[in-house]
Structure 1
Amino acid sequence: MIVLTSEQMREVDRRMIEDIGVSASALMEVAGVAVVREIESYQRIDRIGIVVGKGHNGADGFVAARYLLCQGSDVQVFAVDDKTACSPLTIAAWQAYERLGGKVSDDANALGQMSLLIDAILGTGARFLLSPKYRMWTKAMRQVGCPMISIDVPTGVDATTGEADDDAIDADVTVAMGFAKVGHLQYPGRAHTGRLTVASLSMPPWLAYQAGAYVTCLTQSSVRSWLPERPATSHKGTFAQVGIWAGSRTMQGALRFAVEGAYRVGAGLVQSIVDDGCEQIALALCPEAIVKRLDVPYDTPEGILHLKAALSSSSVALCGPGIGQRLIDFAHEHPSLLNDFAKMPVTLVADADLLNTIASMPEHGEAFFQNREQITVITPHPKEFSRLTGVAVADIQKDRAAIARNFAIKYRVIVVLKGASTVIASPDGKVMINPTGNTGLAKGGTGDVLAGMIAGMIAQLPEKKLAEVTHAVAVAVYLHGYAAELATRSAHSEQSLLATDLLQFIGKAFHAIIEGTMQR
């Protein structure tokens, strides 16, 4: 599903009108009809209130009101602005509604008489901070307590970033016009959007790409198309080996979760590389894994070379979950050796403590990334990404897609910025947003599972090209989130879900995606 910023949507509108020749009024007619169709899905609605602003969003609301009036519905329009302040198209739509006998009120107190409210106040062009006048109306609408449908974007939500005013509309449904917007999918905007439906307005996808679209939302169909084939003649070597450097004496669980995550998505072999003294624990936790012991501690010049050689024998290397802070001190004493470690000739998935080590190096580890010749995937949560970028967590969260994209392009890495609506940014400038998952994943160990799943999906690729690796990463992220949804829908709650529980639902998530039986 194509996802646009507000600026890109304005450009699509312009091209649709100026280049394609579809008038703005014609687009508004189609938009109004789309809203009416959504309204018709509601049963036993007595009175419909449509709250309109002065811009084109308000014009869409007037068009919907006119159609409802002609159908015999009990509809009342509430105007936030005077008619003289409205755009010419909104004035024309207002007048057409009135000529059919429609009534317009400016009394917010009458909103309480409505059984369904339509938010047509502000659209994609507005910033999220509300003026006192608009705030008065949104607060009054929120107090009614009836279902609400927003046209294009809930009033008070930024269409590009998802930032939201404290009094933004909490829609039950949002009817996006033309294409979904980034703000629909990124929190807090996603929480205000409710169920998202897209009215295409007959806008072709190529027009969005001409306008600079670079974001898509993952869907079941796209993820299913990216699943690796599993020929009947396959053997464990067909699906390659993952090398995992994870865990430590106090965090052995990280190794277990990463190893099983890789196996659960289809990797043929997993080799776990552990410190001297940890091999028996590793064998007990991960009996399916091949365990290789480092005879020399990794935080020594000799040890880091042995580690690099061991990881280089695999198809993909996962490094960092639960390895602890010892590497940071080593990196400060021997930065050139860690930068040489980056040159291992395999695809790298860098997670957790390896990311923290890279971030602690000069220029936030720029030399490490420059030394990478193979594809690199990094899997930071917002705090880890803050250390890597030098950008405050709050600022990252305000514009996750753009900041992750800029980093991916600059350092030639695939960024998996974890959190609600995980962002996957590729160095080719493309961004994907993942819609699956829930708060059950806000637990220790679930990120280790994801890192293993990502490495396991990449390992199965016959060729490690950028597009294919990015798709493999996306499949892992989508499966990980949907496994949590399945787990909390049946055996567990979002509060009780553990990483060990999550692993048991990866197979069920595969089945649902392959068979097309996902329910969200």
Structure 2
Amino acid sequence: MLKIATSAEMHRIDRTTIEKYGISGTVLMERAGLCVVERINDILFQNTEHITHNTEKNRAKKIIVVCGGGNNGGDGFVIARVMHNQGREVEVYLAATPRGLEGDAKINYDAARKYGVAIRPVSHFLKHYPRGAARNCIIIDALIGTGLNKEVRSPLSDIIGKINKMSCPVVSVDIPSGISSDTGQIMGCAIKARYTVTFGLAKRGHFLYPGAEHTGQLFIEDIGFPLPLLASEKIRINMVQKEDINTLFPARPEYSHKGTYGHVLIIAGSRGKTGAALMAAKACLRTGAGLVTIGIPETLMGAFQSRVTEEMILPLPDKGNGTLSYGAAETIFDFLRKMGTVLAIGPGLSADKEISRLVTELVKGSRVPIVIDADGLNAIADNVNLLRKSRAPVILTPHPGEMARLLIQSSIVAGKDNLLTLIEEDRINIVLNFARQTGTYVVLKGPPTITASPLGEAYINTTGNPGMATAGTGDVLTGMISAFIAQGLSPADAAMAGVYIHGYAGDIIAEEKGKNALIASDIIRILPIVLKSTRD
């Protein structure tokens, strides 16, 4: 796992390194600057795999460093001094008064000047490049660091606007100036970087949108923070990587049978929505579940019989209109007592009021883990306190709209207006708080998808693409998570693995066919290849 820090967590690591371990801030700043210089030389002047724009190689003749008045600016002074000493043409522009500089930033400002680096007021930058045009240069954004907590105003906003209009590649130090490192939100305006070099740990704002779009290619550099601080259990947000998924899948034992890999019951489907049930079931089987049964309204049996192959069908009492009735609960519980390992609820169920009564009964009475999606989520939106009463682990997989409906009856947010905006502006904290309050595992679909546990841990997923914003992909994910639980993974691991592999499959398809033509069944088709690749 790659731990992801908040601004406050990173500040504590920095202070503890200085005060407890005796590594001065000046040393840390020097190392940070040297790391950025190494990356710049790597990107622009070396034959490297990191070059994403071939025209940049050996092209940049001038280094423009724009510095703020804090420690981010101090890093910029180090970069300027070192690159000047390497014989590069360096221009430095300071968006503060020299008298206002303090501590390590002041030390490195003085050192840069002693080395012969010319440092001019930022007004010269604004005048020197009036149309934002500059050739054969690279811009170092050392204006604002990770501590930003208010909107950027003039003159900083003028500088950011000017830089964004220039055609030169931009390297941001730690985080693009103007991006909140905790939420990824744009604080008025923000640098659009091509590369970002950060230190110690990545920050939330590197992965949360729109910050992720402004970060560009991210490099995480070791500048000497003690490993125990970086690996602290107090940092509860993680980014999921492929190697994390590899460790979750033991080899199938030779002495096993289909029952070894679980039996998933999927309560799904209604008139006009049978496809959702089938996609969830097929994804479940392709992800490795031993057995899958679809519980459907009995009046839809004819429509299903000709379309299932490996799946089994459990006809359930309905209202005569292709919608399940409350009376289906008894049949479902009887099935679960005899053979069920996991209960999935929701794909294509419909928004009928009786569905709400049925889902409530299932959540209260199930003794096996429950995965709830789509109409299953809508069915409990008016009674989220019900989730605390569940006897079994519950995994919720809402998209932002469904999350907003779940929040209406919760006490997590004070106001109920603009819930969608609140969710997008503070995805991690909202999903973490909801998971804690309800005692559930929550998969808030992306970008990026965040998985939160009731224990206060969250996992940021980086796979997936806009091509997956199409009907049925959520049903596929429900089937995949259910299958992983059936095979013995914990709810948190099952959700994390399901989300990662689901997105990974989507990325492979997008690479092969493009994003516009991607459909949910493509993901099911490619799952065997993706699972083999992940496990290998």
TM-score by length of 1: 0.92
Aligned position for 1:67: 82
Residue 518 of structure 1 corresponds to which residue in structure 2? none
Contact (CA 8 Å) 2:237, 2:457: kept in 1 or not? yes
Amino acid at match of 1:319: I
Change in 2 beyond 3 A, CA 1:305/1:251: same
Q: Equivalent residue of 2:365, what SS?
A: coil
Structure 1 stretch displaced more, 279-288 or 127-136: 279-288
Residue equivalent to 2:461:
434
Partners in 1 of 2:277 and 2:309 — Cα distance? Answer: 12
- Structural mapping, 1:476-491, within 5 Å: 476-490=498-512
**Is 1:317 equivalent to 2:343 in the alignment?**
yes
> Superposition pairs for residues 39-188 of structure 1, below 5 Å?
39-41=40-42, 42=44, 43-44=57-58, 45-105=60-120, 106=122, 107-108=124-125, 109-110=127-128, 112-113=133-134, 115-127=137-149, 129-165=151-187, 167-188=189-210
**Farther-moved stretch of structure 1 (134-143 vs 71-80):** 71-80
What does residue range 28-47 of structure 1 map to in structure 2 within 5 Å? 28-41=29-42, 42=44, 43-44=57-58, 45-47=60-62
Q: Residue 294 of structure 1 aligns with which residue?
A: 316
Partner SS for 2:306 = helix
Q: Which residue of structure 1 aligns with residue 530 of structure 2?
A: 509
Judged with a 3 Å threshold, the aligned counterparts in structure 2 of structure 1 residues 425 and 341 are, in CA distance, closer, same or farther, namely: closer
Following the alignment from structure 1 to structure 2, what is the Cα–Cα distance between the partners of residues 202 and 221?
24
Kindly report structure 1 stretches of 4+ aligned residues shifted beyond 6 Å.
Answer: none
Unaligned runs of 5+ residues in structure 1 are: 516-520
1:3 corresponds in structure 2 to 4
Per the alignment, residue 500 of structure 1 pairs with 521
Task: Spell out the pairing of 1:59-458 with structure 2 (5 A cutoff).
Answer: 59-105=74-120, 106=122, 107-108=124-125, 109-110=127-128, 112-113=133-134, 115-127=137-149, 129-165=151-187, 167-208=189-230, 210=232, 212-297=234-319, 299-312=324-337, 313-326=339-352, 328-329=353-354, 331=356, 338-339=360-361, 341-361=363-383, 365-366=384-385, 368-390=386-408, 392-458=419-485
User: C-alpha separation between the residues in 1 aligned to 2:461 and 2:363?
Assistant: 31
How many residue pairs end up in the alignment? 501
Q: Measure, in 2, the Cα distance between the counterparts of 1:204 and 1:232.
A: 44
- Normalising by structure 2, what TM-score? 0.90
Deviations 1:240-280 (A, max 9, x none): 11111111121011011101111111111111111112223
Question: Structure 1 residues 273, 494: closer, same or farther in 2, change over 3 A?
Answer: same
- The 8 Å contact of residues 81 and 117 in structure 2, kept in 1 or not, is answered as yes
The answer to whether the Cα contact below 8 Å between 1:339 and 1:371 also exists between their aligned partners in 2 is: no
> For each residue in 1:154-181, what CA deviation from the matched residue of structure 2 results, as whole angstroms up to 9, or x when unmatched?
0010000111145311111111111100
State the Cα distance separating 1:294 from its structure 2 match: 1.2
* Deviates further, 79-88 or 343-352: 79-88
* Rounded Cα–Cα distance in structure 1 between residues aligned with 2:373 and 2:227: 35
Distance, in Å, in 2 between the alignment partners of 1:437 and 1:168 is: 25
**Contact preservation (8 Å) 2:185, 2:211:** yes
Give the Cα–Cα distance (whole angstroms) in 2 for the partners of residues 206 and 37 of structure 1: 26
Of 494-503 and 476-485, deviating more is 494-503
Deviation at 1:511, TM superposition (A): 3.2
CA contact (8 A) 2:395 2:491 kept: no
Most deviating of 210-219 and 120-129: 210-219
Distance (whole Å) between structure 2 residues aligned to residue 340 and residue 292 of structure 1: 16
Amino acid at match of 1:304: A
The answer (yes or no) to whether the contact 1:128–1:156 under 8 Å persists in 2 is no
What's the offset of the Cα at 1:128? Answer: 5.7
Cα root mean square deviation, aligned: 1.8
Shift in alpha-carbon separation, 1:289–1:330, aligned structure 2, 3 A = closer
| Alpha-carbon distance between aligned partners in 1 of 2:8 and 2:170, rounded to the nearest angstrom | 26
